[in-house]
Amino acid sequence: MSASGPASPEIHGGNLEAAARRLGCRPGELLDASASLVPFAPPWRLRRALGRALAPAALRPYPDRSYAGLRAAIAALHGLDPAWVLPGNGAAELFTWAARDAAAAGVSLLPAPGFADYRRALACWGGEARSLALPLAWQGAGPLPWPVEASASVLWITNPHNPTGQLWSRASLEPLLARHALVICDEAFLPLVPGGEAQSLLPLLEHHPNLVVIRSLTKLFAIAGLRLGYALAAPERLARWSGWRDPWPVNSLAAAAGEALLADRRGYARWCGRVQGWVAREGAWLAERIGALEGLVPRPSAANFLLVRGERQGRPVDLEPLRLALERRHRILLRDCRSFEGLDGSWLRIGLQDRRGNRRLLRALRREWRPG
């Protein structure tokens, strides 16, 4: 690995320790716009819950294998019975079990460009996958109609989509449930989207046993290190997944954090309102200013990230030199999009920061960008 960058694009952003080693700096010197996390410190109730969970008497026992308190908090938040809830060691663990069902059901359709972890999960079980090409030009951030149709047993959906930021409408997704034996909908970013919950597939769960919805607390609360997500699906399916996996996939600290964050429904609503206000405000502010730089074209996004293309007279411009310059000279990390199928070095994904961070990013872009 050279000092100029990794030998090949990583399939995840946010690898601060590795980036700091590569660049010869401390992780705290980096502005990480490669991961899409909120820029706020976690809520006080989370820190208080972790403090209690760190007491020796709380750490000594094994976690509750049923995660009854956490499941009850998640279920109450979404108006479900706890049997419809399965907490996981991040959404990634739950994708693995969803993929086992998908591999058994038949061929999976994976929208491209799209999150590479779905294909990783399918490979664990020898699942067959086929790419479903999404258009790379669209009007507005959404809610948009689902743009493509294809026949296969299983369909994986990300809403809002990663890396494009498009928000799909529930009305256009609901008919897909009658066309596929299994639909897996990743809603990890949806609580961050202003008005996003209106497009969630959660209200359809009761009448569609072939639907799985997966959510994550990573993005919403900036707690990627705790690894906590949850699946919502028919109880029979989730009971089967529980029988496949390790006895204690969620550690006691993560379980305590999740219960504290989600049991306070008013606090959760206030936090989501704060986050959604930031997404609306900073997304529009940053997109306008990046779009004013000749040759950089941000695509409309409903999420807390922007997909940006380098263009000159309608032709692609390689943005890899720009990404590396921001790393080396400004300690700013942007998401290398070459790991997304269908995207090349002319694309970058930029995670929104607070205003100070976004100004730092813009200063670096103005200094380094040469549209040629």
Summarised one tens digit per residue, pLDDT across range 301-335 is: 999 999 999 999 889 999 999 999 999 999 999 99
Q: Indicate whether 246 and 274 sit together in one domain.
A: no
Cis peptide before 113 (omega within 30 of 0): yes
CA-to-CA distance for 364 and 329, rounded, in angstroms? 9
Structural domain for 206, as ranges: 44-264
Q: Indicate whether 198 and 149 sit together in one domain.
A: yes
Q: Indicate whether 246 and 113 sit together in one domain.
A: yes
CATH assignment of the domain containing 302? 3.90.1150.10
Q: 349 - beta bridge partners?
A: 307, 335
Q: Which residue has the higher pLDDT, 91 or 1?
A: 91
Summarised one tens digit per residue, pLDDT across range 54-107 is 999 999 999 999 999 999 999 999 999 999 999 999 999 999 999 999 999 999
pLDDT of residue 371: 80
Q: What is the number of domains present in the chain?
A: 2
Local confidence band at 11 (pLDDT 50, 70, 90 cut-offs): low
- Cβ–Cβ under 8 Å, residues 18 and 39: no
CA-to-CA distance for 148 and 206, rounded, in angstroms? 26
| Amino acid at site 109 | L
Q: Indicate whether 247 and 277 sit together in one domain.
A: no
- Helices 235-244, 90-105: axis angle to 10 degrees equals 110
**Which domain-ending residue is among 233, 264, 295?**
264
CA-to-CA distance for 215 and 140, rounded, in angstroms? 24
**Which domain-ending residue is among 227, 249, 264?**
264
Q: Whole-prediction pTM value?
A: 0.94
**Sign (positive or negative) of CA dihedral 165, 114, 294, 352:** positive
Structure tokens at 40: 């706020």
Q: Indicate whether 203 and 333 sit together in one domain.
A: no
